[in-house]
Amino acid sequence: MRRLGGQVIEIAPGSPSHINPMDIRLDIDEDESPLSMKADFLLSLCELVVGGKDGLQPIEKTVIDRCVRLIYRDMALGIGAGKPPLLQDLYEELLKQPEPEARRVATALELYCTGSLNLFNHPTNVDLTARVVCIVLKGLGENLRKIAMHITNDFVTSAVNVNFHNGISTWCYFDEFHILLRDALTASYFVAVWKMLRKKGCVPSALTQNVKDLLASREIEAILDNTDFMILLAQAQSDRAILAKQLGISEHQLSYITHSNSGEGLLFYGDVTIPFVDRFPKGEIYNLLTTRPEDLKNEAKTE
């Protein structure tokens, strides 16, 4: 990513990189009001924060929606500096409300505003205009991972909308996709990406090594139904059986992903299935991509 001059955004406690979940673009024409979409996003974010099997209650949703509109009022009217609020502004506005439900939501938000998990309570300080942007979430613990994924998804949607408004297509790559489908809220988001964001010039691509976990998701069928292009490399026996049933792969075709070498597999494009062999040439790009221990060892020796 850095070799391509891209922006690497590492989301983790102590990281200098920050994405403000309250960022909003009010100047983009959408089918739905940007403020209404942001309110809906913040409702689902608060639902993640508050937790519980029943989620937010109707009164809690009402006070959150009220507070969201209050903290964006000046920005929507073009008054003041025009800077987007922070999560703490929502927290403080909730504390001003008379309903006890508002205080309950505010108390749950406190950890992420003034508490030890406040990494999303800062203005965005990364270059979002870079041609390629990589968001890294691997440094997050379980308490923050779901929230970070939800905020990242909103960031991606916003970037796609801005690019579409400017006549630009957006290529989105989601690595370790089986992990992203474990959470119901995130999984439903990716179904929407594959169905709806494609209409806004988004080209989504998912990568995973764990086919069994991926196909265990209830949402994967809707995603596969909206996928025109797929590459399969060597697969374990149990995964091959699942794939054969799910994708209708013949025994002969399965032989191309059985004990196959690196760069060999099956390519699916529409109704066409093609076996392929790709001997990737060694050089600078190979050295950047390889994760083979022997390659890394040899590279260390040459240095």
User: Computed from CA positions of residues 290, 291, 296, 298, in that sequence, does the dihedral angle turn out positive or negative?
Assistant: negative
| Mean pLDDT in residue range 146-154 | 89
DSSP alpha helix (H) spans, the chain: 34-50, 58-71, 73-77, 87-96, 100-113, 142-165, 177-180, 184-195, 211-215, 220-225, 237-247, 251-254, 284-289, 293-302
157 burial type by CB count under 10 A (0-12 exposed, 13-18 middle, 19+ buried): buried
How far apart CA 136 and CA 291 sit, in angstroms, is: 18
Side-chain half-sphere of 8: how many Cα atoms within 13 Å? 10
CA distance 62 to 44: 13
**3 state DSSP class of 181:** coil
- Strand 272-277 and strand 264-269: pairing? antiparallel
The mean per-residue pLDDT over the stretch 229-237 comes to 90
pLDDT tens digits, 18-36: 899 999 887 776 667 888 8
| Cβ partners under 8 Å of residue 82, min gap 6 | 75
164-170 average pLDDT score: 92
Residue 8 predicted with pLDDT over 70: yes
Q: What is the mean pLDDT of residues 111-123?
A: 90
pLDDT band at 74 (very low <50, low <70, confident <90, very high): confident
What pLDDT is stored for residue 68 in this prediction?
94
Over 70: is that where the pLDDT of 169 sits? yes
**What confidence score (pLDDT) does residue 301 get?**
63
Residues whose CB is less than 8 angstroms from the CB of residue 87 and which lie 6 or more positions away in sequence, other chains included: 20, 21, 22, 109, 112, 113, 120, 121
R_g of the chain computed on alpha carbons = 22
Cβ–Cβ under 8 Å, residues 174 and 187: no
Average pLDDT over residues 79-85: 80
Mean pLDDT for 48-71 is 88
Report d(CA 68, CA 128) in Å as an integer: 24
Mean pLDDT of 240-249: 84
- Give the C-alpha separation, 74 to 131, whole Å: 32
Compute CA distances 9 → 36, 90, 134, 135, 234, whole Å.
Answer: 27, 24, 6, 5, 31
Average pLDDT, the chain: 87
pLDDT band at 299; cut points 50, 70, 90: low
Pairwise pLDDT comparison (167 vs 293), residue with the higher score: 167
Per-residue model confidence as pLDDT tens digits over 180-190 = 888 888 888 89
Q: In the numeric block, which tokens belong to residue 166?
A: 């400017």
